[in-house]
């Protein structure tokens, strides 16, 4: 109601007062000055781009905005539309609302004590304005989270990749024949179990492969021994020759540089040395065992033993790769040897080594047609024939080993087991 006082418009609230027996004995009336209430509301409400409306059970009590002035641009019809929106949006805390041409969101709350409904109208533009800084923060946070996730993912991937890569490399090594390879155990339980299984498998494979290699090595040794013993039993004068040639050749091999050694293994040279004269089994006894000087025709037959021996070795798949040493141990550095008249480094290295070892043993062994030379005389003859009959580099290595005392027979290492020779061959 309007008050005649200078305070302007007021609101009045009244309540009947009754005693304990319910009898009416008075009325309590309270005047609410509109401006004072408005100031009170504005004091406790922070300035926003919203319009606050308060309804009492369907009737509007007051409205206010951020500057505390009355909203004269609101009509009764607009208040009615707010009431209608509230009624239609029962159960919803946020209701879409249109005021004029502006889209808004209507937020409302009903007090369970007073029954008053508090309504805020927030324009979409104001929401967007408030959300823009949040969007910027959101994008910054998103980028930081993504970067952090990438860093963590890379670290985790690297952490997981390390044991996996280790397994892959170990598997590749296993495929290439390195059965001694083992993987280092890492922390992941599943990976550790896989690493344990791999190590167990590699260990079992290594045992099996080593066993097969031992069997194969034993078999090859028996084959080679049978071959060169057949030759030495046929020609008693050459008993022990193949073993000594092999020992001399291995001494030369042991004194060569690592680059040269890389061309073939020590075992390859050993097999070639033991079988270098195997072709003599095909030479007629009348030529092989002849006491006197050979005729030109007989000498040509003897020369065939190198190629015949190489052909025999070629028939053994696991030994075929050493046949060049057997075939070319009588080639000469100057190209006047046999069977192919190869010269200098066209002669396989294995053949060049065996040529020196074979000649040295032949000169220091007694034959029916001549006496043995002394070690010193044979050494000097080898040096004299360097660059003509022998590879000068091999001769240099031979001489170095000789001067170190490695070629004295009493000091020769046991490269082969001479006790296995039959009595006829040891005689």
Considering the domain architecture, whether residues 28 and 147 belong to the same structural domain is answered as no
Which of the residue ranges 252-256, 317-321, 360-364 would you say has the lowest mean pLDDT?
317-321
Considering the domain architecture, whether residues 194 and 233 belong to the same structural domain is answered as no
CA gap 409, 308 in Å, rounded: 30
CATH of the domain at 363: 1.10.3210.10
pLDDT in tens, 239-251: 788 889 999 999 9
Per the domain annotation, does 213 fall within a domain? Answer: no
Buried b (16+ CB within 10 A) or exposed e, 329-355: bbbbbeeebbbeebeeeebbbbbbbbb
More confident residue, 124 or 157: 124
Which of the residue ranges 220-234, 329-343, 390-404 would you say has the lowest mean pLDDT?
220-234
List % helix, strand, coil for the chain (3-state, nearest 5).
55, 15, 30
The secondary structure element, H or E, covering residue 147 is helix 124-175
The secondary structure element, H or E, covering residue 32 is strand 24-33
Mean of the per-residue pLDDT values for the chain? 77
Stretch 255-271: mean pLDDT: 91
pLDDT in tens, 220-230: 777 777 777 77
Per the domain annotation, does 95 fall within a domain? Answer: no
Question: pTM here?
Answer: 0.52
pLDDT of residue 127: 76
Per the domain annotation, does 215 fall within a domain? Answer: no
For the chain, the farthest-separated pair of C-alpha atoms sits apart, in whole angstroms, at 167
HSE-CB for 401 with a 13 A CA cutoff: 24
Considering the domain architecture, whether residues 288 and 355 belong to the same structural domain is answered as yes
pLDDT of residue 418: 36
Per the domain annotation, does 178 fall within a domain? Answer: yes
pLDDT at 335 over 90: yes
Q: Which among 242, 247, 292, 240 is positioned nearest to 427, based on CA atoms?
A: 240
pLDDT in tens, 288-305: 888 778 899 999 999 999
Stretch 211-236: mean pLDDT: 73
Per the domain annotation, does 75 fall within a domain? Answer: no
Buried b (16+ CB within 10 A) or exposed e, 168-179: eebeebbeeeeb
pLDDT of residue 426: 27
Among 152, 182, 207, give the residue marking a domain's end. Answer: 207
Considering the domain architecture, whether residues 277 and 389 belong to the same structural domain is answered as yes
pLDDT at 427 over 50: no
Rounded to whole angstroms, what are the CA distances from 276 to 36, 74, 315? 126, 121, 15
Stretch 168-177: mean pLDDT: 67
pLDDT in tens, 19-53: 888 888 898 888 877 777 776 665 544 444 445 56
Check if the beta carbon of residue 242 is closer than 8 Å to that of residue 233. no
Q: Which among 375, 355, 360 is positioned nearest to 273, based on CA atoms?
A: 355
Per the domain annotation, does 69 fall within a domain? Answer: no
Q: How far apart are the first and last CA of the chain?
A: 149
pLDDT of residue 425: 29
Strand partners, 53: 63, 119
Peptide bond into 142 cis (omega under 30): no
Considering the domain architecture, whether residues 283 and 380 belong to the same structural domain is answered as yes
CA gap 120, 153 in Å, rounded: 46
Considering the domain architecture, whether residues 266 and 374 belong to the same structural domain is answered as yes
Per the structure, the count of domains in the chain is 3
Give the residue numbers spanning the domain of 32.
1-44
How many whole angstroms from its chain centre is CA 159?
12
Q: Kindly report the CA angle at 249 between 223 and 311, in degrees rounded to 5?
A: 45
Considering the domain architecture, whether residues 172 and 281 belong to the same structural domain is answered as no
pLDDT in tens, 52-91: 566 555 455 555 544 444 444 556 667 777 777 777 776 6
Stretch 148-161: mean pLDDT: 75
């Amino acid at each position: 109601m309007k008050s005649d006082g200078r305070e302007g418009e007021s609101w009045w609230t009244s309540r009947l007062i009754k005693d304990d027996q319910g009898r009416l004995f008075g009325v309590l009336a309270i005047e609410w000055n509109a401006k004072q209430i408005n100031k009170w509301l504005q004091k406790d409400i922070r300035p926003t781009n919203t319009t606050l409306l308060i309804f009492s059970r369907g009737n509007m009590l007051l409205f206010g905005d951020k500057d505390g002035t009355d909203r004269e641009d609101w009509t009764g019809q607009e208040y009615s539309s707010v009431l209608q929106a509230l009624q239609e949006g029962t159960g919803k805390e946020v209701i879409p609302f249109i005021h004029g041409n502006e889209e808004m969101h209507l937020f409302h709350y009903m007090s369970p004590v007073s029954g008053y409904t508090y309504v805020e109208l927030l324009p979409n533009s104001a929401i967007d304005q408030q959300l823009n800084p949040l969007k910027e923060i959101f994008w910054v946070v998103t980028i930081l989270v993504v970067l952090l996730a990438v860093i963590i993912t890379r670290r985790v991937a690297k952490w997981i990749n390390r044991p996996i890569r280790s397994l892959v490399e170990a598997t590749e090594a296993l495929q290439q024949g390195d059965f001694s390879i083992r993987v280092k155990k890492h922390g992941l339980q599943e990976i550790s179990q896989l690493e344990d299984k791999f190590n167990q498998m590699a260990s079992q494979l290594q045992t099996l492969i080593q066993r097969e290699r031992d069997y194969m090595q034993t078999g090859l040794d028996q084959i080679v021994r049978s071959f060169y013993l057949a030759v030495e039993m046929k020609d008693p004068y050459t008993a022990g020759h193949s073993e000594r040639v092999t020992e001399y050749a291995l001494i030369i091999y042991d004194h060569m540089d690592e680059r040269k050694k890389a061309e073939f293994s020590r075992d390859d040279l050993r097999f070639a040395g033991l079988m270098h004269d195997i072709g003599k089994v095909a030479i007629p006894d009348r030529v092989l065992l002849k006491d006197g000087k050979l005729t030109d025709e007989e000498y040509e037959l003897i020369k065939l033993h190198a190629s015949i021996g190489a052909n025999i070795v070629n028939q053994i798949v696991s030994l075929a790769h050493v046949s060049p040493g057997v075939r070319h141990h009588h080639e000469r550095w100057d190209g006047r040897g046999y069977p192919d008249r190869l010269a200098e480094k066209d002669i396989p290295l294995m053949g060049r080594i065996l040529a020196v070892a074979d000649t040295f043993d032949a000169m220091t062994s007694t034959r029916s047609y001549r006496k043995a030379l002394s070690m010193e005389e044979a050494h000097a003859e080898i040096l004299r024939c360097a660059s003509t009959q022998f590879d000068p580099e091999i001769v240099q290595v031979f001489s170095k080993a000789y001067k170190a005392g490695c070629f004295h027979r009493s000091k020769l290492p046991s490269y082969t087991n001479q006790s296995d020779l039959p009595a006829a061959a040891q005689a």
